[in-house]
C-alpha cells in the first residue's frame, strides 16, 4: 500500500497494474470460495499462475502484449488457457486455429466480446447498452444497431464511389495542410505529436464534415489524445476520476463536443457513412446524448491506428537512406508536374495515389511490413456455446478467445527466420506469368504464409472495414512527406528508429517507447514545390 501511495503522490495517477493488483488482491482473499474454476481435460493446456486467481491479470496489466510473447517462449503452445479471476481466456498463437475462430459461426461472437469494452470506452448508460446489444449476433435477422451499422460500414467503406469521395476529400485536405508546412531553418518537431496534428483535423473534416467537433473547438484535439492515452485505465473503470484523472476529464470534454454535434445536427454536413450511422442509432431509440457518446468509439477506430501506423512507416523509411532513395524513385513514376500559373512560385506536383499500387511495389510492401511489425492488436471473440475446434480443443461457453497477433506476426515458423526483422521487401513478388515475366509487384502475403497470419486488420466477417481507406490515406500521406520533406536527427544525419513499446495492453498499433524529436525541412531544390495528392 505504501508503494501505491508513493506512486499516486509522485505522478498524480497511479500505475494501472499497481491499482489493479492491489484491489484484486484484497477481493481475492475475501472471496476465495467463489473463485474456484474447474477445467476439463479437453480444454487447451492451462498456464499456471504465480499468484492464485490474479497472477495473469497482474502480468497482463504490467507487461501488456509482451506477456503473451513471454509465455510463448516458454511453452510454444498453438492454443492455451489463461485462468483469469472467475473464468478463463484462451490465447491462440497458431494461424490455422485463428482461421477457424474468425470464421463466422453461431458459437462465437465478436460483439458479445467487445460491447462491454465499448460501453466503458464511451460511457454508455444501461438503456443504450440494452439497445446496442439487442440482436447484436443476428439471432433474429439483420435488424438492430450492430448488424445494420456493420453492414452499412462494410458497404460504404468498401471499394466504390462512396469510399472514393471520402478518400478524395481526405487527400485534398492533406495536400493543403502539408503545403502549409514550410519549416523555417532547423525546425524540431516531436514526430508522433506532429502526425496527430496532421491527421486529427483532416480525418474529422473528411468524415465528420466541416462542423466536426475539432473544427468547432480546437482544444478538443489534445483532449481526444489525452483520452486515447488513458483508455486502458478508463476501461478498467476503477474510480477512473482518480486512477485515470486526465483521460477521464478529457473524455468528458470530447463527449460534450460530440453531444453538441448531434444535438445541433452538424452531422447533416458529414460523409454519408456518419449520417447513416447516426440515423441507425436514433431509429433504434438511442438518445441524442448517447448517440454523441457512440461516436467516440468511431473516432477512436478512425484515428487510433492510422496515426501510429504512419509514424512507424515514416520512421522505417527515414532511418534507412537506401530504402528511402528506392522509394522516392518509385513514387516519381506516379507524379505529374504542372507549372503553377501567374503568381505561382515553383511547380505543382501531383502524386496519383491509386497509381502507387502498380508503380511503387517497395512502398506498398513496406506499408504491409510496417503493419506486420507493429500491429499487435488481439482479435477477440466470446464463446457462446461449448465448442470443440480442430477436433481436439474444447472451448467453454462464456469464455473469451484472443488471437495473439503480436506473437503470430513475429513467428519464424510462419514468416521465416528473419521474422523479428523489418524487411521492407517482404511483400514483393516477381511475376513469372508470360505476359509480365520479371515484373515485380506487391503480394498480399509472402509465399507459404497463410492469410490468417497477417492480422493487422483482424479477420473474418468483422475484418476492419476501414482498411481500404486506411491504406489510401496512409500511403498517400507518406508519399507526399517522402517526396516533399527530409527528416534528420537534431544532431544531424538519418533519424534512428525508435524502440517499440510492447509493454501496453494491445488495443491499438504499438506506440514508440519515447518521444521522437526530428528536424523537418523541405527537400533541397524542391523548397517551393506544391505537392498535391489525387486519388
Residues that bind ligand HEM (CB under 6 A): 150, 153, 157, 301-302, 305-306, 309, 375, 377, 379, 456-459, 462-466, 469-470, 509
Quick check: helix, strand or coil at residue 54?
coil
Distance CA 243, CA 257 (A): 23
What's the count of helices (H) and strands (E) in the chain, helices before strands?
A: 24, 17
Residue 226 is classified by DSSP as H
Q: Least distance in Å: CB of 432 to ligand HEM?
A: 31
Q: Least distance in Å: CB of 360 to ligand HEM?
A: 18
Q: Least distance in Å: CB of 310 to ligand HEM?
A: 8
Distance CA 229, CA 225 (A): 6
Q: Least distance in Å: CB of 383 to ligand HEM?
A: 15
Q: Least distance in Å: CB of 307 to ligand HEM?
A: 9
Q: Which is nearer to ligand HEM, 346 or 444 (CB)?
A: 444
Q: Do 528 and 349 touch, CB atoms closer than 8 A?
A: no
Q: Is 520 exposed, middle or buried (0-12, 13-18, 19+ CB in 10 A)?
A: middle
The number of C-alpha atoms within 13 Å of 529 and in the hemisphere containing its C-beta is: 21
Q: Which is nearer to ligand HEM, 233 or 458 (CB)?
A: 458
C-alpha grid cell, residue 464: 476492419
Q: Do 342 and 418 touch, CB atoms closer than 8 A?
A: no
Q: Which is nearer to ligand HEM, 13 or 471 (CB)?
A: 471
Q: Which is nearer to ligand HEM, 246 or 468 (CB)?
A: 468
Region label for 144, one of left (φ > 0), alpha (ψ between -120 and 50) or beta (otherwise) = left
Measured over the CA atoms of residue 375, residue 249, residue 513 and residue 120, the dihedral's sign is negative
Q: Least distance in Å: CB of 300 to ligand HEM?
A: 9
Residue 464 is assigned to a ligand binding site = yes
C-alpha grid cell, residue 59: 502480468
Q: Least distance in Å: CB of 461 to ligand HEM?
A: 7
Q: Which is nearer to ligand HEM, 230 or 465 (CB)?
A: 465
Q: Which is nearer to ligand HEM, 150 or 530 (CB)?
A: 150
Dihedral angle computed from the Cα positions of residues 208, 209, 213 and 214, in that order, rounded to the nearest 10 degrees: 100
C-alpha grid cell, residue 200: 486529427
Q: Is 359 exposed, middle or buried (0-12, 13-18, 19+ CB in 10 A)?
A: middle
C-alpha grid cell, residue 281: 442509432
Q: Which is nearer to ligand HEM, 49 or 105 (CB)?
A: 105
- Annotated binding-site residue numbers: 464
- Annotated binding-site residue numbers for heme: 464
Amino acid at each position: 500500500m505504501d508503494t501505491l501511495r508513493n506512486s499516486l503522490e509522485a505522478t498524480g495517477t497511479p500505475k494501472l497494474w499497481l491499482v489493479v493488483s492491489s484491489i484484486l488482491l484484497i477481493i481475492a482473499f475475501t472471496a476465495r470460495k467463489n473463485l474456484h474454476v474447474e477445467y476439463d481435460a479437453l480444454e487447451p493446456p492451462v498456464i499456471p499462475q504465480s499468484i492464485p486467481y490474479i497472477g495473469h491479470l497482474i502480468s497482463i496489466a504490467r507487461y501488456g502484449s509482451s506477456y503473451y510473447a513471454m509465455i510463448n517462449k516458454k511453452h510454444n503452445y498453438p492454443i492455451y488457457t489463461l485462468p483469469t479471476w472467475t473464468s478463463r481466456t484462451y490465447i491462440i498463437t497458431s494461424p490455422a486455429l485463428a482461421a477457424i475462430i474468425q470464421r463466422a459461426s453461431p458459437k462465437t461472437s465478436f460483439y458479445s466480446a467487445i460491447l462491454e469494452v465499448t460501453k466503458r470506452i464511451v460511457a454508455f448508460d444501461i438503456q443504450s447498452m440494452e439497445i446496442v446489444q439487442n440482436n447484436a449476433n443476428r439471432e433474429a435477422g439483420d435488424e438492430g444497431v450492430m448488424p445494420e451499422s456493420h453492414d452499412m460500414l462494410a458497404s460504404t467503406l468498401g471499394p466504390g464511389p462512396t469510399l472514393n469521395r471520402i478518400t478524395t476529400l481526405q487527400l485534398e485536405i492533406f495536400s493543403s495542410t502539408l503545403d502549409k508546412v514550410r519549416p523555417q531553418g532547423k525546425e524540431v518537431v516531436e514526430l508522433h505529436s506532429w502526425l496527430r496534428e496532421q491527421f486529427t483535423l483532416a480525418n474529422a473534416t473528411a468524415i465528420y464534415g466541416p462542423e466536426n467537433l475539432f473544427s468547432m473547438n480546437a482544444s478538443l484535439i489534445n483532449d481526444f489524445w489525452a483520452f486515447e492515452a488513458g483508455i486502458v485505465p478508463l476501461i478498467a473503470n476503477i474510480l477512473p476520476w482518480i486512477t485515470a484523472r486526465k483521460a477521464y476529464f478529457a473524455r468528458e470534454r470530447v463527449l460534450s463536443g460530440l453531444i453538441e454535434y448531434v444535438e445541433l445536427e452538424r452531422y447533416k454536413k458529414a460523409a454519408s457513412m456518419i449520417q447513416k450511422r447516426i440515423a441507425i442509432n436514433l431509429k433504434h431509440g438511442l438518445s441524442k446524448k448517447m448517440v454523441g457518446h457512440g461516436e467516440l468509439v468511431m473516432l477512436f477506430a478512425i484515428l487510433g491506428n492510422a496515426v501510429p501506423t504512419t509514424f512507424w512507416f515514416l520512421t522505417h523509411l527515414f532511418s534507412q537512406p537506401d530504402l528511402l532513395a528506392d522509394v522516392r524513385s518509385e513514387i516519381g513514376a506516379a507524379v505529374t508536374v504542372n507549372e503553377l500559373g501567374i503568381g505561382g512560385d515553383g511547380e505543382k506536383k501531383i502524386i496519383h495515389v491509386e497509381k502507387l499500387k502498380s508503380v511503387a511495389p517497395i512502398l506498398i510492401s513496406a506499408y504491409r511490413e510496417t503493419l506486420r511489425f507493429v500491429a499487435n492488436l488481439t482479435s477477440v471473440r466470446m464463446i457462446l456455446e461449448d465448442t470443440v475446434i480442430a477436433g481436439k480443443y474444447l472451448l467453454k461457453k462464456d469464455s473469451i478467445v484472443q488471437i495473439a497477433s503480436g506473437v503470430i506476426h513475429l513467428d519464424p515458423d510462419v514468416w521465416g527466420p528473419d521474422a523479428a526483422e523489418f524487411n521492407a521487401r517482404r511483400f514483393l513478388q516477381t511475376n513469372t506469368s508470360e505476359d509480365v515475366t520479371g515484373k515485380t509487384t506487391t503480394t498480399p502475403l509472402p509465399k507459404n504464409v497463410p492469410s490468417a497470419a497477417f492480422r493487422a486488420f483482424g479477420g473474418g466477417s468483422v475484418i476492419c472495414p476501414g482498411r481500404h481507406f486506411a491504406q489510401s490515406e496512409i500511403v498517400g500521406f507518406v508519399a507526399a512527406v517522402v517526396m516533399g520533406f527530409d527528416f534528420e536527427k537534431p544532431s544531424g544525419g538519418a533519424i534512428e528508429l525508435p524502440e517499440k513499446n510492447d509493454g501496453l495492453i494491445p488495443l491499438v498499433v504499438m506506440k514508440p517507447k519515447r518521444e521522437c524529436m526530428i528536424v523537418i525541412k523541405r527537400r533541397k531544390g524542391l523548397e517551393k514545390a506544391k505537392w498535391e495528392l489525387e486519388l
